[in-house]
């Protein structure tokens, strides 16, 4: 019910490296802290010191255990990382623990926008960022139902839908040092697993990363064409394929092991 803009050549988004994400939640808390005081905040908490602390988070980290031989779980479908080089990662031989940070993917065909009855949900024409205009939001939650990625966060306290803004109030913010004009989650990430840039520019660093590492968008079959990309875990060199080395034994009957060092000429 809300129109998407014409596709813009500029598609700002995140590239998240599942190979180095250790699941530390630094991105999630940095995001909450920034947006709490930012132009799209606050991100209210309910019962913050009580029995069921709940709050609005634009970014949450999930952890999956993958049994040996099984594919990585949704929303990391094996098919999406099917390229031959990543087959090992798609179905790890030894079992894996995968951390999966989840936030808005700023889809090109964003169902959360088209479903919005008031025009509150919209996609920016200039850079593709999907935002919510809280003045127009009636809190009907249709967008949350429409989003297959669970990226929408309804604020009970404020009665509006909230979501990742790609830190639009940072990335253009002239009151910040130019080096700081990146999403808070990207700057915070301690393993530097998160990257920000223009995925519409094939020459950008993020696009080159996606190409080199076979980055994928989750659930592509749904057709919403997410801008964000995830880099699959690199194939693990876990030695599973290596032959079990036989015991390599010095023939002690011929020469006690110690003696081979007896005449070793060492220099100090």
Partner 1 sequence: MTDKPLDLHRPTGDEVKTTTCYMCACRCGIRVHLRNGRVTYIDGNPAHPVNRGVICAKGSAGIEQHGSPARLRSPLLRVGERGAGEFKEIGWDEALALAARWLGDIRARNPDELAFFTGRDQSQALTGWWAQQFGTVNYAAHGGFCSVNMAAAGMYTLGSAFWEFGEPDWEHTRYLMLWGVAEDHDSNPIKLGLGRLKGRGAKVVAINPVRTGYAAIADEWIGIRPGTDGLLAGALVHELLHADRVDLDYLVRYSNAHWLVVDDLDGADDGLFARDAEGHPLCATREGIVRADLAGIAPRVVGEVTLADGRRAAPAFQRLAERFLDAAWSPDAVADRCGVAAGTIRRLARELAAAAFDDPIRLPVAWTDVHGRRHDEMVGRAVSMHAMRGISAHSNGFQTCRLLHVLQLLLGAIETPGSFRFQPPYPKGIPPHNRPGKSRQPNGALDAAPLGFPQSPDDLLVDADGRPRRIDKAFSWEYPLAVHGMLHTVVRNAHAGDPYRIDTLLMFMANMAWNSAMATGETMRMLTDRDPATGEYRIPRIIYSDAYASEMVAYADLVLPDTTYLERHDAISLLDRPISDADAAIDGIRRPVVAPDRDVRPFQDVLLDLGARLGLPGMVHDDGRPRFPGGFPQYMVEHQRAPGIGLLAGWRGADGAASGKGDPNPRQLAAYAGNGCFFRAEVPPAGRYFKMANRDYLGWAQSMGFVGGTQPQVLALYAEPLQRFRLAARGHGNRQPPDKDRARIAQHFDPLPDWQAPFEGAALQPGAYPLAAITQRPMFMYHAWGSQNRWLRQIAARNVLYIHPATAAAHSLADGDWAELRSHAGCILVPVRLHGAVEAGTVWTWNAIGKRRGTWGLHRDAPEGRRGFLLNHLISDLLPAGHAGDYANADPITGQAAWYDLRVALRRVEPPSGGDSLPQFAPLPVPRR
Which residues between 226 and 265 bind partner 1 (CB under 8 A)?
A: 233-234, 236-239, 242, 244-250, 257-262, 264-265
Tokens 């000429």 map to which residue? Answer: 265
Site for partner 1 in 121-140 (CB under 8 A): 122, 124-126, 131, 133
Q: Which of 11, 32, 163, 229 binds partner 1 (CB under 8 A)?
A: 32
Site string for partner 1, 167-186 (x = CB under 8 A): -xx--xxxxx--xx---x--
Among the residues of 38-92, which ranges form H helices? 87-90
Q: Is 87 in the site for partner 1 (CB under 8 A)?
A: no
* Nearer Cβ to partner 1 (3/138): 3
* Residue 97 binding partner 1, by CB under 8 A: yes
Restricted to residues 55-84, the positions that interact with partner 1 (CB under 8 A) are: 55, 57, 63, 65, 67
Q: Determine, following the binding rule CB under 8 A, whether residue 33 of this chain makes contact with partner 1.
A: yes
How would you label 175-209 residue by residue, b for 16+ Cβ within 10 Å and e otherwise?
eeeeeebbbbbbbbbeeebbbbbbbbeeebebbeb
The CA-CA-CA angle for residues 33, 185, 163, to 5°, reads 70
In whole angstroms, the minimum distance from the beta carbon of 35 to partner 1 comes to: 10
Task: Of 67, 65, 94, 98, give the one whose Cα is nearest residue 81.
Answer: 98
Cα 141 from Cα 139, distance rounded (Å): 5
């Amino acid at each position: 019910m809300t129109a998407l803009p014409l596709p813009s050549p500029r598609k700002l988004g995140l590239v998240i490296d599942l190979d180095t994400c250790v699941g530390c939640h630094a991105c999630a808390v940095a995001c909450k802290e920034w947006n709490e005081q930012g132009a799209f905040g606050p991100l209210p908490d309910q019962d913050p010191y009580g029995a069921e602390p709940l709050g609005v988070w634009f970014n949450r980290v999930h952890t999956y255990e993958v049994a040996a031989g099984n594919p990585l779980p949704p929303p990391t479908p094996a098919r999406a990382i099917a390229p031959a080089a990543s087959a090992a990662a798609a179905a790890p031989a030894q079992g894996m623990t995968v951390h999966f940070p989840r936030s808005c993917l700023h889809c090109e065909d964003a169902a959360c926008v088209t479903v919005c009855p008031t025009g509150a949900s919209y996609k920016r024409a200039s850079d593709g960022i999907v935002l919510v205009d809280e003045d127009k939001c009636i809190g009907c939650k249709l967008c949350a139902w429409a989003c297959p990625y669970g990226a929408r966060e309804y604020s009970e306290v404020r009665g509006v839908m909230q979501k990742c803004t790609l830190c639009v109030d940072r990335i253009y913010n002239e009151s910040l040092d130019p080096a700081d004009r990146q999403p808070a989650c990207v700057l915070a990430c301690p393993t530097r697993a998160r990257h920000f840039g223009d995925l519409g520019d094939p020459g950008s660093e993020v696009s080159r990363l996606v190409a080199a590492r076979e980055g994928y968008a989750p659930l592509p079959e749904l057709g919403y064409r997410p801008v964000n990309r995830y880099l699959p875990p690199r194939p693990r060199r876990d030695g599973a394929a290596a032959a079990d080395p036989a015991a390599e034994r010095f023939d002690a009957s011929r020469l006690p092991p110690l003696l081979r060092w007896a005449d070793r000429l060492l220099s100090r």
